[in-house]
Structure 1
Amino acid sequence: MADTKHIGIVLFDDVEELDAVGPWEVLAYWTRTFPEDGWSVSCISRSGGPVQCAKGLVIHAHHAFADAPPLDVLLHPGGHGTRPQLRDEEHLDWVREARREVPLMTSVCTGSLVYAAAGLLQGRPATTHWGALDLLAELDPTIDVRPDERFVDDGDVITSSGVSAGIDMALHLVARLAGADRAREVRRGIQYDPEPPV
């Protein structure tokens, strides 16, 4: 449909696999199963080509940053690949530009470190992977770090904690964008009902 709204998941070398693929599963199931909701999701990378993830999985982006459709939601995953991004002015400038254009910025795990380095989290509540909470506070001491929350929704920015928390955040995103009943249908569709086995 002509007025489809777009969600873009950022890919980069050394991205944590589940940070990107967990939300992809939720959002792709939603958008493909319920196209009448008017949303689509795609993966974007700087070059538009493949990236090698943190544990060796290779994923190919649908679009380059330059030719991605206009985004209504941006999702920035974490992983070891975020560490060089904290000093990569080209990437940080791209994130800042996205902030000016994209109504809703979301992150998984250490993706919030990139948002902090880009100045997007000043004075805001936010979270990240438990192992990076101190670094989040160090990058921007004005951040209200929330160590115990799976995700923190601060209106136009949502951050989530480590790895699997991205699935919870993505379901919350579906609830925000299409209602709680739809989110429950998606959760049941992907049979996500966590009860840790150990």
Structure 2
Amino acid sequence: MSTHSTLRVGILVFDGVEELDAVGPWEVLASWARDSPLHPDVLTFSADGGGVRCAKGLSIVPDTSAADVGPLTVLVHPGGRGTRSLVVHEAHLAWVRAMRARTPLMTSVCTGALVYAAAGLLAGRPATTHHSQLDALVTADPSVLVDAEARFVDDGDVITSAGVCAGIDMALHLVARLESADAARRVARDIEHAGTSRH
């Protein structure tokens, strides 16, 4: 019998992931988990459980592998240079679709949205990504309703966020959604994030 919390957030890491896309949300969510009465589990994972080298050279050793991560409440799919290969990697896109079928809330940071679009998750839905990749989002799926102004777009069971630092805003929004606005404000104070409520 697992001792894990029923509220579990998994942050995917991969070679070429943009550092802050992954570590920014992790910082917010791990800070939240430390004091939350909900006792959420926040973990990182890679495809095979092995370490990854991020876009600017930081190495991350994740907690586990995609095969062993178990059920998640929230998946965070970051962006970065590494998504260029993932958007055309059929096995990865199939994995994203499988996760979509069993994960209540799918979220992305930056070009993680391109992967979601390529996997068909954003068809006919509002979404955003890094400002330099908005055209690429349309190319990935012309039916996406691109929001060029938002820091993040919450469409219920899918949340996409703009580039890099916007992932922190999205993660604070997640805390507000999963627990409360007060909890999100507490975390923002803890990490000294001035933030923005624009969405």
Equivalent in the alignment of 1:109? 110
Per-residue deviation, residues 108-147 of structure 1 (Å, max 9, x unmatched)? 0000000000000000000000010000001111000000
Q: CA separation in 2, counterparts of 1:178 and 1:186?
A: 12
SS at structure 2 position matched to 1:67 = coil
The one-letter amino acid paired with 1:5 is L
Equivalent in the alignment of 2:21? 19
Query: Shift in Å at residue 40 of structure 1?
Result: 1.2
Query: Shift in Å at residue 33 of structure 1?
Result: 2.3
Which of 9, 25, 33 does residue 7 from structure 1 map onto?
9
Alignment gaps of 5+ in structure 1: none
Q: CA separation in 1, counterparts of 2:35 and 2:168?
A: 17
Per-residue deviation, residues 81-124 of structure 1 (Å, max 9, x unmatched)? 00100110010000000000100000000000000000000000
Per-residue deviation, residues 19-72 of structure 1 (Å, max 9, x unmatched)? 0000000000000122x2231110011010100000000001101000002101
1:40-189 alignment runs, 5 A limit: 40-189=41-190
> Does the 8 Å contact 2:5/2:41 carry over to 1?
no
Equivalent in the alignment of 2:191? 190
> Does the 8 Å contact 2:4/2:41 carry over to 1?
no
TM-score (structure 1 length as normaliser)? 0.95
Alignment gaps of 5+ in structure 2: none
Aligned-residue identity in percent: 60
SS at structure 2 position matched to 1:12 = coil
Q: CA separation in 2, counterparts of 1:57 and 1:116?
A: 27
Q: CA separation in 2, counterparts of 1:48 and 1:38?
A: 24
Q: CA separation in 2, counterparts of 1:98 and 1:81?
A: 19
SS at structure 2 position matched to 1:171 = helix
TM-score (structure 2 length as normaliser)? 0.95
The one-letter amino acid paired with 2:173 is H
Query: Shift in Å at residue 12 of structure 1?
Result: 0.3
Query: Shift in Å at residue 194 of structure 1?
Result: 5.1
Q: CA separation in 2, counterparts of 1:2 and 1:119?
A: 31
SS at structure 2 position matched to 1:56 = coil
The one-letter amino acid paired with 1:37 is L
The one-letter amino acid paired with 1:70 is P
